[in-house]
Structure 1
């Protein structure tokens, strides 16, 4: 959803505003999975060449909450320190009550907006614990869900705003960097209309290269049954195997919206795509987007119509790196650099990782260890951010610094972050750090410094941002 405020939306940045109809760009795409006929269909088996990196089928006892190993609840009317009303003007209070968010016992999640006798609205909003969903270098990522929108239309649907969307990982805990960190709206709907919107939010607000707060979007009617009367599969494919890089949006396998890196400047695209994303499911009530289509909540709006979610699945294709480094001078600072693709190193081991579809990470990293990555291209616009996907099973009171040095492993670090135990050697998180401005092409050293001799970190990948 789109955030209409200076804060990243709501992350939904501003969906509440009129989404302009942009002509769909004609990039060929792999077909997304078509909606299955039953209400509690299982997630389809990944097609050949794809691996499953996340799945929640929402199987469980009726009336229970979602799996907190997969999801966290957003509560209240804003993020801590973020814009009021989730930055979009919506009026509901989000709760973790099973009245608002629960399994239905038939393999579906129900997010149900309710109104009490005083006219106050409650609803539900959940987001994945993981923030690392992005395609591997040279590969693809597909994020999809099979959803039936709230089955309500006409005046009774006024103010309904169901959504399935994603926010850039740097938004979590910041809440002031939208829309630059990116928002991918895979499914939005308002007012019970038989229409699905897909939108990329990026750049600056208002205006900017991504036309905020509207974003770069398009819409289409649901094929076959209406969006409200049946389940449909909504998906987004993020393709790094083509040039320019592309985002493709689908409903039931029909590609109705595509955005490519060539539509905005390189810095805007890099800032929106040089990191992982997390997934959000919610039903908002009222706000700018419904207002743009005939008005929001009033006495005719009927509470109690849930959005049903059969499954959420994330698939990946492509290797995402390897032990063979790219040619010198051919590493992109703004795409993930796989840690195991070093040119040389001291003190590390390489092992299979459980993170984001497999691959490898470097581990056994302790004080004095290092890894070298030659020929990293930063370009003419200065990089000011460093991101690394790291994990730690270090013991109590064991911690250390992950440092970035340029052209010499004894050079003064341009940036660093501290790390202690994250919950295990395969318990991954993406950690950001500020760095001194870097342009041009450099050999990048990751160095590891600690006051203890014990291992303190594993590294899966790293990249940079503006």
Structure 2
């Protein structure tokens, strides 16, 4: 959420399928089901341990438990960038009118405006700053939240967030974004969209595209983000061959950031330490500015972000990854090696933005990429085409898009911005699980390449699901 330039660019995510059926992942509610207004944190799953939990039980009007949380007040950290580095205009307070329990098991963070037009709000941070996965294990940070229930012009300037900052930021205040930031849930202007972002490297620009960061987004499944509670989570996983951070809403993995998307030094600087957790509602600033600015005279004060619980789980995982490369070259194909002429499962991507996965009813079952629309993409590393040129592409696709909604599935090599070597158009196939194999001619390709599937449409709606693809001569 925070950047030192006061700017954050974002692209408005298109409207998405109202509800997407999916298998629930760890500690998440069923996709598309509106959870009750108050719910206990889910039980700790087998193989995990609870390292932090607050379900915000307490008398109405009382404050947060100060053994677990601390209030951040004012308009900046002492000696840090003004307006918390983002250009937000509110003053953070510990006043129960801004931050308090509601007596029904929730924390409410409520922006207020006084008679002079000055805004106040709330920001709380965990005292603990040691949240990180163990070597070879996984850390899952999750909260069940209803965003401020306000939309349209009345929501102008609202910026609720659930996020984490690298603990070396405490006491320095000027080492962002190198020490890392993990935005699990951000929202602006009352839009039915959740944004998730990893910030790292240097600003502006740098390996993490600051001040935007490495981000993904999607609409909330089922009830809108504002109309109901949803679970928002990140799994920071050191048990995989390549360390990664996976972001979820109601169990749907909609964004993943991998260590190999940036250089090793950048990733290490952002992840070789603990993190602390932050809950806040800002008013105005760089992110709202990207969507029309605010707040203004039409903005309604008094709409709270309501937090049901915050939970942190840890799994010890499997074998600890090696800390140094092997002394001799591997005798097996490197990670990411793929045969261009065998079916490549779409959900096996090595990087993506804007996608989600769901259970597929297609022949052979498994999962498919879902809710794909303009600007989304998926990366598949190390696809081996051999020496005989590949000239064809086949994609297994389905679409339940509305009439008049269609788009292109494009195949690009080695860069998302490379010219497509081929593409094909998809419109409604009869349903989001009504599958067709669509062929396309491509420019002759040999050798080994990273393959990007990119999705382009002139409409804002989702237009395609993808189950698998392959290439042919």
Match of 1:141, SS?
strand
Distance in 2 separating the partners of 1:319 and 1:276: 18
Query: Displacement of 1:309 after TM fit?
Result: 0.1
Match of 1:155, SS?
helix
Residue 173 of structure 1 corresponds to 171
Residue 421 of structure 1 corresponds to none
Residue 34 of structure 1 corresponds to 28
Residue 183 of structure 1 corresponds to 181
Match of 1:170, SS?
helix
Residue 69 of structure 1, aligned match among 52, 67, 80: 67
Query: Displacement of 1:4 after TM fit?
Result: 3.8
TM-score by length of 1: 0.65
- 1:69/1:129 contact within 8 Å kept: yes
Match of 1:316, SS?
strand
Match of 1:272, SS?
helix
Distance in 1 separating the partners of 2:315 and 2:287: 34
- 2:201/2:207 contact within 8 Å kept: yes
Residues 362-403 of structure 1 show CA distances to partners (whole Å, capped at 9, x for unaligned) of xxxxxxxxxxxxxxxxxxxxxxxxxxxxxxxxxxxxxxxxxx
Query: Displacement of 1:19 after TM fit?
Result: 5.6
Query: Displacement of 1:319 after TM fit?
Result: 6.5
Residue 206 of structure 1 corresponds to 204
Residue 44 of structure 2 corresponds to 46
1:235 correspondence with 2:207: no
Residue 134 of structure 1 corresponds to 132
- 2:26/2:45 contact within 8 Å kept: no
1:258 correspondence with 2:280: no
- 1:2/1:17 contact within 8 Å kept: no
Residue 268 of structure 1 corresponds to 266
Query: Displacement of 1:3 after TM fit?
Result: 0.9
Match of 1:281, SS?
strand
Residue 244 of structure 1, aligned match among 242, 258, 262: 242
Distance in 1 separating the partners of 2:160 and 2:81: 20
Report matched runs for 1:57-456 at 5 Å. 57-318=55-316, 331=323
- 2:4/2:81 contact within 8 Å kept: no
Match of 1:270, SS?
helix
Match of 1:234, SS?
strand
Distance in 1 separating the partners of 2:218 and 2:74: 32
Task: Note closer, same or farther for the CA distance 1:203–1:54 as it changes in structure 2 (3 Å cut).
Answer: same
Distance in 1 separating the partners of 2:257 and 2:232: 16
Match of 1:185, SS?
strand
Provide the aligned length of Structure 1 versus Structure 2: 314
Distance in 2 separating the partners of 1:281 and 1:145: 10
Query: Displacement of 1:33 after TM fit?
Result: 2.7
Query: Displacement of 1:46 after TM fit?
Result: 1.4
Query: Displacement of 1:48 after TM fit?
Result: 1.0
- 1:137/1:240 contact within 8 Å kept: yes
- 1:92/1:120 contact within 8 Å kept: yes
Distance in 1 separating the partners of 2:264 and 2:77: 30
Match of 2:154, SS?
helix
- 2:246/2:253 contact within 8 Å kept: yes
Query: Displacement of 1:20 after TM fit?
Result: 8.2
Query: Displacement of 1:195 after TM fit?
Result: 0.2
Q: What are structure 1's unaligned runs of at least 5 residues?
A: 6-12, 22-28, 334-466
- 1:32/1:250 contact within 8 Å kept: no
Distance in 2 separating the partners of 1:34 and 1:238: 16
Match of 1:198, SS?
strand
Q: What are structure 2's unaligned runs of at least 5 residues?
A: 14-22, 326-473
Superposition RMSD on alpha carbons, in Å?
2.2
Residue 3 of structure 1 corresponds to 3
Query: Displacement of 1:38 after TM fit?
Result: 1.3
